[in-house]
Structure 1
Amino acid sequence: MKEDTFFGKVLVVGRTNVGKSTLINQFITSKISITSRRPNTTQTHVTGIYTSKVIQFELIDSPGIQISYKNYLDKKKLRDTYNLIKDTNIVIFVITSFVWTPQEKNLLEYIKKKNNEYIMVINKIDKIKDKKSLLPFIFKISQLIKNHEIFLISAKKKMYLEQLLICIKKKLPILNHKHLDHIKTTCTKKFLIAEVIRETLINLLNKELVYAFTVSISFLYQDTKKRYTIKSIIFVNNLRHKKIIIGSKGKKIKQCCCKSRYKLEKLFKEYVFLNIQVKIK
């Protein structure tokens, strides 16, 4: 008799910098979503794939919910996230200890209306020395989401992720798997490479420049020995930004290239030759 297989889509939502991308990377055991201390690091929805025997699900990372949305692209990302809430099997709502603002309140109200299969996750508990101090906050949240699970985790430290994973598995519908077992993401290699370079640059730059550039992969080739040759262009708005990214005597861009190449070799497990240019749009 054929064993049942389970498949579903799991959306991870929450405000910026609550650890959504870190949580997804830990589940997938591969860095498919970039992380940074800077707000709004995740700029688009990124899908990872978890597979273990009869269980498979897509984990969708979403851009963080912001206090205000100033442009069309930001508003579109919010609309896309809200649409996904309606269309996924499970929603994981990630928050951090003691933080509950109108943004969290509004998001929870929408989730309640559109998708009853949601899980509340309080992340970064490793930073709380006195765990008993969390009890009033946990009680407050429990009153808002009666009959729904609350999990206390540290995604970064891999604390209590197994219990959350068990809960997700229990909620998945019986369906055939949609991806081969070894596939970790639906993202293309070019997208992953661009995101790695963007993450590296974000962590090297001042706050004002975090969103003032875009990364494009102009050339990607893998030879018979499986070595990668990659050419990338960082597009900026003006000469001042270009000078900042290149740095004194090219120091900054060399750092970016070296660190990005190391990350890419770790990701692809093959030798990488990486060339990065900076151009004004």
Structure 2
Amino acid sequence: MNDITRPDDPESRCGFVAIVGRPNVGKSTLLNHILGQKLSITSRKPQTTRHQVLGIKTMGPVQAIYVDTPGMHEEEPRALNRYMNKAATSALIDVDVVVFVVDQMAWTTADELVLEKLSRLTCPVILAVNKVDKIEKRETLLPHLDMLSKKREFTEIIPLSALKEMNLQPLEETVGRYLPQSVHFYPDDQVTDRSERFMAAEMVREKITRQLGAELPYSVAVEIEEFRRDGKTLHISALILVEREGQKKIIIGDKGERMRSIGQDARTDMERLFDSKVMLRLWVKVKRGWADSDRALKSLGMNDF
């Protein structure tokens, strides 16, 4: 294990970097590609991310602790939505740098909402204009960046493509310059603060969201009931919670076909992440109203704040 204090290195820097933005602008994809491995789950469906997830990137004397957050959105009455907004907003407390991610040529009222939440911050705010590889008329980019520069005094504006890993190095270098001089908070080989149980649950939820995004609402949760190593094999049992009987039938699918497909895809990712053979068991349970209940959210571990 590497020395986490690095006492003899005057160049040692470390700090927290919040990745914020409205839903579905590519925050989790950006974190995954910065880290060079899958940490945050992704899908085309907005608000896939529900929790703060720390991704730790150590390059020589610089340790950047990225905080991936749920997309900030208009307040909604459901307890799940309140939790997600709170997770996103709390990430701004005591961070050293903010990376505000926007989607190529778009600027929406939801982006304005995020900008408003950043207005009271005194730390550096870097604007990351994502998905620029999709812009057909490249000559339209400069006027758009000029318009964005007038929204606030950003520390730097960096056009990039998280998916294509384009311009990620300039972003990381800019982040590193603004981190405070400090000992490293984590061992240099640590990548996240989240447990393996948490990561397993998120992988199952990702596969459900990816395979059934158009058919299923957001009211799906995954709870790990067994996480046990037996020699070289990892035994994982996951309970999928839905709110209605009809949702349960959708996840199971015809003769259990959809459930098997979700399990196969999740197991493949788990074996890659945990470097073990995985025996994965899934089943579905109806728990009415869990997404509206603060008590139910706490029972699912959504009580970080």
Give me the TM-score of the superposition, normalised by structure 2. Answer: 0.87
Matched-pair contact (CA < 8 Å) for 2:101–2:129 = yes
**Alignment match of 1:215 (pick from 201, 205, 222):** 222
Tell me how far 1:72 sits from its aligned partner. Answer: 3.3
Q: Counterpart of 2:175 in structure 1: which amino acid?
A: I
Tell me how far 1:206 sits from its aligned partner. Answer: 4.4
C-alpha distance in structure 2 between counterparts of 1:180 and 1:165, whole Å: 19
Tell me how far 1:82 sits from its aligned partner. Answer: 2.5
Q: Hey, what does 1:280 align to over in structure 2?
A: 286
Matched-pair contact (CA < 8 Å) for 1:91–1:115 = no
**Residue 136 (structure 2) pairs with residue 129 (structure 1):** yes
Tell me how far 1:238 sits from its aligned partner. Answer: 2.5
Matched-pair contact (CA < 8 Å) for 2:75–2:85 = no
Q: Hey, what does 2:159 align to over in structure 1?
A: 152
Q: Counterpart of 2:270 in structure 1: which amino acid?
A: L
User: 3-state SS of the aligned residue for 2:279?
Assistant: strand
**Residue 207 (structure 2) pairs with residue 200 (structure 1):** yes
User: Where do 1:61-76 residues align within 5 Å?
Assistant: 61-76=68-83
**Residue 168 (structure 2) pairs with residue 161 (structure 1):** yes
Q: Hey, what does 1:14 align to over in structure 2?
A: 21
**Residue 253 (structure 2) pairs with residue 247 (structure 1):** yes
Could you list the structure 1 runs, at least 4 aligned residues long, displaced by more than 4 angstroms after superposition: none
C-alpha distance in structure 2 between counterparts of 1:271 and 1:76, whole Å: 34
1:146–1:221 CA distance, 2 compared to 1 (3 A): same
Q: Hey, what does 2:191 align to over in structure 1?
A: 184
Once the two structures are aligned, what percentage of the paired residues are identical?
A: 34
**Alignment match of 1:269 (pick from 259, 275, 300):** 275
Q: Hey, what does 2:180 align to over in structure 1?
A: 173
The count of corresponding residues between Structure 1 and Structure 2 is 280
Tell me how far 1:147 sits from its aligned partner. Answer: 5.6
1:261–1:79 CA distance, 2 compared to 1 (3 A): closer
Tell me how far 1:32 sits from its aligned partner. Answer: 1.1
Q: Counterpart of 1:21 in structure 2: which amino acid?
A: S
Tell me how far 1:85 sits from its aligned partner. Answer: 1.6
**Alignment match of 2:264 (pick from 258, 263, 272):** 258
**Alignment match of 2:241 (pick from 220, 224, 235):** 235
Structure 2's unaligned 5+ residue stretches are: 1-6, 288-305
Of stretches 65-74 and 27-36 in structure 1, the one that deviates more from structure 2 is 65-74
**Residue 44 (structure 2) pairs with residue 37 (structure 1):** yes
C-alpha distance in structure 2 between counterparts of 1:116 and 1:49, whole Å: 20
Tell me how far 1:68 sits from its aligned partner. Answer: 4.6
C-alpha distance in structure 1 between counterparts of 2:263 and 2:279, whole Å: 10
Matched-pair contact (CA < 8 Å) for 2:52–2:91 = no
**Residue 32 (structure 2) pairs with residue 25 (structure 1):** yes
**Cα-to-partner distance string for 1:147-167 (whole Å, 9 max, x where unaligned):** 620000000000010000100
User: 3-state SS of the aligned residue for 1:259?
Assistant: helix
Alignment RMSD (CA, Å): 1.6
**Residue 61 (structure 2) pairs with residue 88 (structure 1):** no
C-alpha distance in structure 1 between counterparts of 2:117 and 2:73, whole Å: 15
C-alpha distance in structure 1 between counterparts of 2:89 and 2:98, whole Å: 11
Structure 1's unaligned 5+ residue stretches are: none
**Alignment match of 2:114 (pick from 107, 112, 115):** 107
Tell me how far 1:67 sits from its aligned partner. Answer: 4.0
Tell me how far 1:146 sits from its aligned partner. Answer: 3.2
**Residue 29 (structure 2) pairs with residue 48 (structure 1):** no
**Cα-to-partner distance string for 1:94-150 (whole Å, 9 max, x where unaligned):** 001222122222322331322331100100011112211112211101122336200
C-alpha distance in structure 2 between counterparts of 1:140 and 1:85, whole Å: 25
Q: Counterpart of 1:266 in structure 2: which amino acid?
A: R
User: 3-state SS of the aligned residue for 2:259?
Assistant: helix
Tell me how far 1:83 sits from its aligned partner. Answer: 3.2
